[in-house]
Chain A
Amino acid sequence: MRVLFHFGRYAIFLKRVFGKPQKHKIFLNQIIREMDALGLSSVGIVAIISFFMGAVITLQTAYNVEMPLIPRYTIGLAARDSILLEFSSTIVSLILAGKVGSHIASEIGTMRVTEQIDVLDIMGINSASFLVLPKVVALVVLNPFLVLMSMGIGIFGGWMAGSVTGEVPSAEFIYGIQYAFIPFYVTYSLIKAVVFAFLITTISGYWGYYTTGGSLEVGRSSTKAVVVSSVQILLFNLILTQLLLA
């Protein structure tokens, strides 16, 4: 019953979030600010994780492909497809669910318990739209770029690891990442990035917006936002994979 209650309230919340912004100029300024706060501030962590992720995938694949009949370039191919299909979009989004999701839920939750949202409501401002919509737009626009960046850095990390350890010669790795390339894999990953960005911002916004109580509840909302966003990302990953790749 609780799940149904939250689902219904989330649907009503979404309707409010996608209300017309009060002033377009202010809305645009908010989007730019949120792009900086949510997206650009995540570039560092995404870059580091992607680099090491690519390196580890390459080395693990190399250590498991010991048969002389299998050419070494397949390691580059396997690393590329793993990064493109799964790691860059899903893992980066799961990391963002933790970083960005908790940030959104705690920011909006604190505004709720300190009556700042009541101030907006009393002024006649659609508080759900004013607070959450700029975050949704900002992350939906930026997440695909973060995923693209993650793909590039991940593959670079794989190449570096393969070359430095001598497990995969540079030329073979580069041949492998170009071999049998399917451009739709990038599109598939970017579609996932957009859907995951939407889930992270709206779910975290929802838990923050309906916080009641004090600082303890803000912490609880923040945790719920991260957990629910992560579970939904995994669920939608399955659904999108079936829909787009089957």
Chain B
Amino acid sequence: MIEVVNINKSFDGNDVLKDISAIFKKGNTNLIIGQSGSGKTVFLKSLVGLHEVDSGEILYDGRNFNRMSRKEKKLIRQEIGMLFQGSALFDSLTVEENVRFPLDMFTEMSLRDRRDRANFCLKRVNLENVNHLYPSEISGGMQKRVAIARAIALNPKYLFCDEPNSGLDPRTSIVIDELIQEITKEYNITTIINTHDMNSVLGIGEHIIFIYQGEKYWEGSNKEILKSTNKELNDFIFASKFFKKIKEDGGFV
């Protein structure tokens, strides 16, 4: 479980995150949604320590991340897996080497065991016979799956995904969403996903937080989101003509 208590973050006097508190439960797919520029990525990067928050607390199963020593932070980082918007695979390494990378760096396993573990993770994300290929030689959807395989290589307790569907076609997006949800349940991970994809919201949003101009405006689940009366949230959800039309036709009621 990750608990966020009253975190604030500003850049050059601009308040990007304003007093946000939330609880992200284990085994749940927690979604952070909001418009571009609302502060979602800053929020996610603050949770993993890429940005230092100005005030507030971030608790990983009760352990206060902000008060940890560098050594403690280093240890907790090995419990974190992260999937980036652009996959962020290492260009100079093959698919297998990318997945093996955290194992090479942090375990004393033999090369054979590390290769077995990498192959297991690749198989888990439904990728086979691509071990020797470089990231530039595989599709965007495959790159995302390799990034997921790398993120789960060390059996993380916490998984962070920054817009995992960006740049993917709707069908591949669903595959990636379902994969993340399956892995979350299977390994009982605390998963936090940043997205503005409404298909993801409705498909896997067990717990959703809506951020608007750096503030938490709404919290609920995919069962509740379409019935919300929050104006900003409705403006966000029904921005597309497709969703607007369905709402007008009473499809969601």
Residues of A within 8 A of B104 (CB): 23, 26
User: Could you list 20 further interchain pairs (A-B, Cβ under 8 angstroms) beyond the known A26-B104, A116-B90, A123-B78?
Assistant: A22-B105, A23-B104, A23-B105, A110-B91, A114-B88, A115-B84, A115-B85, A115-B86, A115-B88, A116-B88, A116-B89, A118-B50, A118-B82, A119-B90, A121-B50, A122-B77, A122-B80, A123-B105, A124-B74, A124-B75
- Whether A43 sits at the interface, judged by CB under 8 Å, is no
CA distance A114 to B90 in the complex (A): 9
Count, chain B residues at interface, CB 8 A = 23
CA distance A121 to B74 in the complex (A): 9
CA distance A165 to B197 in the complex (A): 75
CA distance A197 to B204 in the complex (A): 53
CA distance A44 to B12 in the complex (A): 48
Q: How far in angstroms is the closest Cβ of chain A from B74?
A: 4
Residues of A within 8 A of B73 (CB): 124
Residues of B within 8 A of A118 (CB): 45, 50, 82, 84, 88
Cβ contacts A to B, 22 pairs, < 8 Å? A23-B105, A26-B105, A111-B91, A114-B91, A115-B84, A116-B89, A118-B82, A118-B88, A119-B82, A119-B84, A119-B88, A121-B49, A121-B50, A122-B48, A122-B49, A123-B78, A123-B80, A124-B73, A124-B74, A124-B76, A124-B77, A124-B78
Residues of A within 8 A of B77 (CB): 122-124
Q: How far in angstroms is the closest Cβ of chain A from B247?
A: 36
- Whether A125 sits at the interface, judged by CB under 8 Å, is yes
Q: How far in angstroms is the closest Cβ of chain B from A63?
A: 49
- B62-92: contact bitstring with A at CB < 8 Å (1 yes, 0 no)? 0000000000011111101010111011110
| A122 and B50 contact, CB distance less than 8 A | yes
Q: How far in angstroms is the closest Cβ of chain B from A32?
A: 14
Count, chain A residues at interface, CB 8 A = 15
CA distance A26 to B86 in the complex (A): 26
CA distance A219 to B75 in the complex (A): 36
Query: Which residues of A pack against B, CB within 8 Å?
Result: 22-23, 26, 110-111, 114-116, 118-119, 121-125
- Whether B102 sits at the interface, judged by CB under 8 Å, is yes
Q: How far in angstroms is the closest Cβ of chain B from A62?
A: 48
Chain A to chain B: the 5 pairs with minimum beta-carbon distance, closest first: A124-B77, A124-B74, A115-B88, A115-B84, A119-B88
**Chain B residue nearest in CB terms to A22:** B105
Residues of A within 8 A of B49 (CB): 121-122
Residues of B within 8 A of A110 (CB): 91
Other-chain contact of B82, A26, A111, A122, A125 (Cβ < 8 Å):
A122
Residues of B within 8 A of A22 (CB): 105
Residues of A within 8 A of B85 (CB): 115
CA distance A23 to B104 in the complex (A): 9
Interface residues of B in 24-63 (CB under 8 A from A): 45, 48-50
**Chain A residue nearest in CB terms to B150:** A119
Residues of A within 8 A of B106 (CB): 123
Q: How far in angstroms is the closest Cβ of chain B from A117?
A: 9
CA distance A121 to B76 in the complex (A): 12
Q: How far in angstroms is the closest Cβ of chain A from B174?
A: 24
CA distance A119 to B102 in the complex (A): 10
CA distance A118 to B88 in the complex (A): 8
Residues of A within 8 A of B45 (CB): 118
Residues of A within 8 A of B90 (CB): 111, 116, 119
**Chain A residue nearest in CB terms to B78:** A124
**Chain B residue nearest in CB terms to A29:** B104
